[in-house]
Amino acid sequence: MHVLMTDEGKYVVVQRSSKEQHQLAAVDTQSPGTSVEIKTDEDSKKVAFCFVHKSTRYIVKKHEKTLKLEPSSEPRPDNIWFSKENLDGSEHYGLSTQAETKLYVTLCGKRAILCFSEDNSECVQFNDTTV
């Protein structure tokens, strides 16, 4: 099973926010039933994610400066593609949108919800691993 982790050792998981909405959060422990499918392009500089939580697949969508999750029946959808950004020379990478004005994935609020920032210094670093 693949998981996505921050460079601080937090797991990226699907959480229920309000009503039937789901969001991505960085937490200390991997919750059972949450995994990630990672699709990369030919040169491994772009990546797309599909999160699986409790038998439901969620694709990542950009909505203004937030990351939204939408249920999807597609096993490996070509949803939003992120560029891998090597910001510090390590094996970890940051993620940015491919829009004209780049937005970087960062953590927002006390609940550590994944969102976007225009400032790459706020970009959270990731690595993907198999557990």
Domain that holds residue 33: 2-130
List the one residue out of 82, 71, 73 whose CA is nearest residue 40. 82
Note the pTM of the prediction, 2 decimals: 0.79
Domain count, the chain: 1
pLDDT at 15: 82
Cα–Cα–Cα angle for 107, 79, 117, rounded to 5 degrees = 25
| pLDDT by 10-residue block (mean), the chain, 131 residues | 81 78 84 74 80 84 82 66 78 82 88 88 79 44
CATH number of the domain at 123, please: 2.80.10.50
